[in-house]
Amino acid sequence: MLAFKTGPGRPREFCSQACRQWDWVARQRSKELALTENELVVARDELDDLKDKIYVLNCAVEDVRSDLAANSRATKEALQEDLRWLIESAEPVIASDLRPQVL
């Protein structure tokens, strides 16, 4: 959100007018809902979707961990397959869009 500025004057607090507007909207909605600074509203389906993605990633990590522990001399192909499984499981988590949305 912060943009670094050189030169005279006060540094900008927001990188763009859109970021400034999102901050204002978020503050107004939090006042309406009487939320504290540590509370966040997330749609249940978005939260469930993120939990599902994290569960799949956790399963991939556990699978690879047990494969490595059971077979210390794994073949190159086996290691590549494990790495593919980890990457495929991690990509949806990385791609999750958790930006604010107007309700």
Domain ranges of the chain: 12-41, 43-97
Q: Which residue has the tokens 């397959």?
A: 81
Q: Residue 23: which residues within 8 A CB-CB, separation 6 or more?
A: 1, 14
What pLDDT shows up at residue 61? Answer: 95
pLDDT digits (tens, 9 = 90+) for 39-64: 877 889 989 999 999 999 999 999 99
Q: Which two tokens stand for residue 60?
A: 């991939």
pLDDT digits (tens, 9 = 90+) for 61-86: 999 998 888 877 778 898 899 999 99
Do the beta carbons of residue 100 and residue 19 sit within 8 Å?
no
Is residue 97 pLDDT above 80, yes or no?
no
- In this structure, the number of other CB atoms found within 10 A of the CB of residue 33 comes to 10
Across the chain, mean pLDDT equals: 84
